[in-house]
Structure 1
């Protein structure tokens, strides 16, 4: 993960003045390399002290290290798309960006925690996958796949139905929350309910310091470079879907799980040409 990825991943945790600095750097990384701190402060409309605090916030020693980190990535940085980009440029940039999202999501994995997540999935009575809005299709696809593995799973479109089902869950169950921002108050309410019941929570979010991530028992960090395409709009669900597929494929290596998949395929085979 390069410095721009790190800034984007931590963007929701920044204060307003820090977001101004982040916005300017994300849009003008190459120019910032040669800027004195006073010039960046002028362009971002913040104080020099705010820039120093921003650097500390993203775990850098100071502005000089920020410029060094920016210089390291200029050759490999995905091109910025605009209304003037050719179709070829768009295809190449999007392909590179999406490949990077999957690679960084893999790098973000803590293998020790992944082992615990896999154990929680195999030991539970049932799993409820919950999401709201853009990540709802990820939850529904995950429930379908894990049912194929023989792990009883549910996912609902409607938050009120999610809430009603949550109230019927027991400590033997598992609650998997999928949220790009990790900030949904509706999902946090459901987490409060399941935690009170002693139910383990797995969170899949873009931000390891998000409210949902911090209250979960286990966290898997997805990654999105949507800011390279549209500022303030995080709509990609590719990396979250990938993490669910990753869990599915690892668990499918168990012959017993694989037999469940084959049995399901046999049942639905009559619907295929």
Structure 2
């Protein structure tokens, strides 16, 4: 993990994977960053009802060498960087609703920009370029993102297929090889159906790329390449709307990276526009 990112987005995406003791340390940071920076390891352990070993483990889980490195990162967090969980109210005007939604999307994109591992992005682009076949797995809301992935990547002339049916996912995954790539998309990174079928694909030898919002999720641990993108969801909505748009933005990054590498991209787009233009007449 990069060390020059904003820390609070890292806390948000890693929070669900933390132990109860580690969550208390994260809550202590969120409650008062300045106070936390001023405390020693023994005081932190005492205040969070944990141990010094737990504090050190917490720091390393976030990607830092130790408490001092964590504090240096905390000190670099802009003072206006706060966690917003504002929900909706019945009396909200449509303008207010729109402002909240757009702000959450903007915050999610900004967080992802600081969180994204760009070495992993490059690895993903290389894997997708070399793939004989690309299969995309997701269920529920993530299924719409998978369909967008398929629609966009078909323009490269690649063999790319999106599956939301679990039985189809399992069948296809079992027939993959080391020449193939699985792209698994899950906001929580814990959806059992996606985990099961992705594991089948990995066992068959395929490279697994995951797009998820949870850094330490089961899907992230299962993957060869992990791309983290998260939105700051408001309490009223459980559909992870902002995260869905952030994940689509990550797909755009992969798409653009491949387009810049494919010499046949311009010719493919010209062919596509020619056949579509006929249908518009």
Q: How does 1:215-234 map to 2 (within 5 A)?
A: 215-226=222-233, 229-230=234-235, 233=238
Aligned to 1:258: 266
Q: Is 2:187–2:212's contact at 8 Å kept on the other side of the alignment?
A: yes
Aligned to 2:67: 61
* TM-score (norm. length: structure 1): 0.77
Aligned to 2:12: 8
Q: 1:30 to 1:79 in 2, by over 3 A?
A: farther
Secondary structure class of the residue paired with 1:115: helix
The Cα of 1:111 is off from its aligned counterpart by 3.4
Q: 1:120 to 1:32 in 2, by over 3 A?
A: same
Q: How does 1:180-219 map to 2 (within 5 A)?
A: 180-219=187-226
CA–CA distance in 2 between the matches of 1:5 and 1:175? 27
Equivalent pairs, count? 266
Gaps of 5+ in 1: none
Q: 1:49 to 1:189 in 2, by over 3 A?
A: same
Gaps of 5+ in 2: none
CA–CA distance in 2 between the matches of 1:197 and 1:76? 43
Q: Is 2:6–2:114's contact at 8 Å kept on the other side of the alignment?
A: no
Secondary structure class of the residue paired with 1:155: strand
Residue deviations 1:6-26 (CA, integer Å, cap 9, x gap): 221111112245546756876
More moved, 75-84 vs 255-264: 75-84
* TM-score (norm. length: structure 2): 0.75
Q: Is 1:129–1:175's contact at 8 Å kept on the other side of the alignment?
A: yes
Q: Is 2:135–2:160's contact at 8 Å kept on the other side of the alignment?
A: yes
Mapped pair 1:151 → 2:158: yes
Q: What is the aligned counterpart of 1:129 among 113, 125, 136?
A: 136
The structure, 1 or 2, with the larger RCO (C-alpha pairs under 8 Å, 6+ apart) is: 2
CA–CA distance in 1 between the matches of 2:237 and 2:24? 12
Secondary structure class of the residue paired with 1:264: helix
The Cα of 1:117 is off from its aligned counterpart by 1.6
Q: 1:160 to 1:73 in 2, by over 3 A?
A: same
CA–CA distance in 2 between the matches of 1:190 and 1:231? 31
CA–CA distance in 2 between the matches of 1:225 and 1:245? 20
Q: CA RMSD in A?
A: 3.9
Q: 1:111 to 1:74 in 2, by over 3 A?
A: closer
CA–CA distance in 1 between the matches of 2:217 and 2:109? 20
CA–CA distance in 1 between the matches of 2:210 and 2:235? 25
